[in-house]
Structure formats: structure tokens, C-alpha cells
Structure 1
Amino acid sequence: MFPALPSPRPTGARTARTSPAALAGVVTAGAALVLTTGCGILAPGQNGDMPDDINVTSPLMQEGQPLPAAYACEGAADGEEGEEQGEPEAYSPPLSWSGLPDEAGSIALVVDDPQVAQVFWVVYDLDPQLVELRQNIVPADAKQGQNSDGVAAYGAPCPEPESSYEYRFTVYALENPLDLPEGASLDAALDAIANQAVARGSLVTTSE
């Protein structure tokens, strides 16, 4: 059972400034398979007749508008330096959602750039009664899976100058909580979400 008021924990991770081409190369084989074939959880037009009934919004992001610098590596560079390598701290944006089906047993969130098959954040086992995530916070009973960099945290996108990218914040209603631990591999998390998903909705931002 989920607690009524779970204690929050921070989501930030040290953010390396890596080009999108290099980042795409670190996607695991299993995740790439899910992205391009099979359940295709992150690919538009796939997953059969799954309804897009969930409305995803943010008080600090707008559909079709650029991702605020605070949630990209440019904004993270303005924060405190890492203790060991001087790498900046990444902060996840606040999100809200509505329209989950009554049968939802849990919620998952996937943040990705579909053009380069890059996944920045995976969160699962969110309470189905939850209607938002606050900035840089994940409830204590929720779990974070590995992103494409192999880190179980939010990884701030680092778009190349004068290039165009899309960043999707997709909320999935799942039949049940996932039987996965904290820090599950990217391919395992995406496959489990695909198997349990009954509805979804996305907020899409851009790099410019």
C-alpha cells in the first residue's frame, strides 16, 4: 500500500555535458529494441489502441515551447559545482496530470527525446492517487530506473547549439505497481511499463 503522504527525496544527478550523438550510443540494446519494435512504449502511434486520455501539464513548462534552461544542462551549470568532478546538479521540473482511468494501480513517468532514442528519466510505482510531482522531488515509495546514462536519476538534456530536439514528459497509467527494484535497468523498466500500461499522456517541449 502507498502511504497517504510519502516523504519526498531529491531527484538530481550530476550532469555530464555529452553531445546527443554520444548519448544515443549509450542506450542499451534492450531499450533500443523496446524503442523501435515490440511494445514500442516510447514511439508515437504504437502500443495498439492505448488511449491518450491523460492530460499532462506543468506550472513552469508549456506544450511546444522550449524546455526552460533550469531543467537543461545550461541551467544546471549555473548551480553549485560537484564536489569531485565539478559537474553541475540537474533538477527535474514540476509536473501535474489528470484523467487517469479508475483501474490504474500505479503511475510511471518517462522523459525522453524520441529523435535520438535518449531517455533522461524513468520513475515508476507512483501512487495512483498522486496528481503531481514537485520540482526535484520523487515520493519516498516511488522508484527511479536507470536512464540512458545508466544513472537512476533525472539527467538534464544537453542540446547542441542550433539543433532542434523534442523532450517528452509522458505519464503512464499502469495496471499494477512494477515488480522492479530501485535502479532497475532501462530496458527492464521500459519493458515492464509497456506490459502494464493502460493509458498515457505527454507534455512535449523543444530545445529552441
Structure 2
Amino acid sequence: MGALVAGAALVASTGCGMSSELRAEMPTDINVTSPMMQEAQPLPSAYTCEADGEPVSPPLSWSGLPDDVGSIALVMDDPGAAVVFWMVYDLDPQLVELRQNTVPGNAKLGQNTFGDSAYGAPCPEEGDVHEYRFTVYALDGTLDLPEGAALSLTLDGIAEQAVARGTLVTSSE
């Protein structure tokens, strides 16, 4: 569990385990949107532990990927709490969206901070304000990691291969 927390701290503090310099130099041309979420607005309860029934992962779409992308990765995190809630990698570079509660084709789920290979719905304490980032990374290859790979391995792989990124940011309130 210590490695998972360390990996989450890396992603929260510098953005997917990348040095601040590398992250600053990386193009941010990818536009990330959702029909169910708006930038800087609260994350709908359907995607939190307050969901009516089991929480589900939100639908996301993206555009503006660079040419010659080998795969796409998605990371949902809370930078203030150093928590990664969702990790999807080896998404087909021709894909332009993830539908609600789905992981298509040959894409894989990596472990989140809690050690689960699944969407981990945020559950903030009442009154606590959190920021939730949905970051799409364009990678120059595939991670070639097994389903359920450890968080630190997945973050390191993304950091090594990322050529562009884009982020949709929501909040807990």
C-alpha cells in the first residue's frame, strides 16, 4: 500500500509522476469534455459515493490528439488529497470517447490508490472541497502492462510515453 500512496503523491504533486519541467513543456492541446460534467463545476453525484445505487464512471470525450499517437491513457485524480480514483490505459488512439461505465476493446484498467482495478468513486467529507482532474494523455506507444498493473508502474509508463495531455477539472462542491 505504501507504493500506491507514493505513486498517488507523485501524480498529485507533479502530474502523473512527471517532473514539473517535463509537464510544463508537454503540449496541452487535447480538449477533454463530458456531456454530464462541466469544467469547474461539482462532480455529479452519480459519479460519487452519493450515487443512487452503485456509482459509475462518467462519460468523457476528447479531441485534438497529435498525429501518430500509439495509445491513450486516462487518469482521474484529486491532487489535493494525493488520490488516484481511476486509471485506464492502452486505449485505441482512434477512440474519441469513453461511454459511461465502460472500458472498450483492448483497453485496460490499472490499480487506483485503493488497490482496485476499477473506478473508485470519490467520497469527500461534507464541507471539504476537492478538485477532481480527468486527464487524457496521448502516448507514443502502448504501456504493454497487464490488466490491473500497479499504480506506480502505470504512472511511470505514462510519464515515459506521454506526448500531449488535456484535462477536465471538476470539484466536490
1:18 corresponds to which residue? none
Give the letter for the 2:120 counterpart. G
Q: Contact conserved, 2:89 with 2:108, CA < 8 A, in 1?
A: yes
TM-score normalized by structure 2?
0.92
Tell which structure's C-alpha radius of gyration is larger: 1
Regions of 4+ moved over 6 Å: none
| Distance in 2, Cα, partners of 1:44 & 1:30 | 15
Instruction: Give the gaps of 5 or more residues in structure 2.
Output: none
1:124 corresponds to which residue? 89
Instruction: Give the gaps of 5 or more residues in structure 1.
Output: 1-24, 80-88
Deviation of residue 35 (structure 1)? 3.0
1:83 corresponds to which residue? none
**Mapping 1:122-161, distance limit 5 Å:** 122-161=87-126
TM-score normalized by structure 1?
0.77
Deviation by residue 1:12-41 (Cα, 9 ceiling, x = unmatched): xxxxxxxxxxxxx8662551463377x742
Give the letter for the 2:50 counterpart. E
1:58 corresponds to which residue? 34
Alignment coverage as a number of residue pairs = 172
**Greater per-residue helix proportion:** 2
| Distance in 2, Cα, partners of 1:129 & 1:164 | 35
Deviation by residue 1:30-68 (Cα, 9 ceiling, x = unmatched): 51463377x742679552410110000000000000000
Percent identity of paired positions between Structure 1 and Structure 2: 65
| Distance in 1, Cα, partners of 2:55 & 2:121 | 6
Q: Secondary structure at the match of 1:195?
A: helix
| Aligned Cα root-mean-square deviation (Å) | 2.1
**For 1:194, which of 159, 163, 168 is the aligned residue?**
159
Q: Contact conserved, 1:27 with 1:149, CA < 8 A, in 2?
A: no
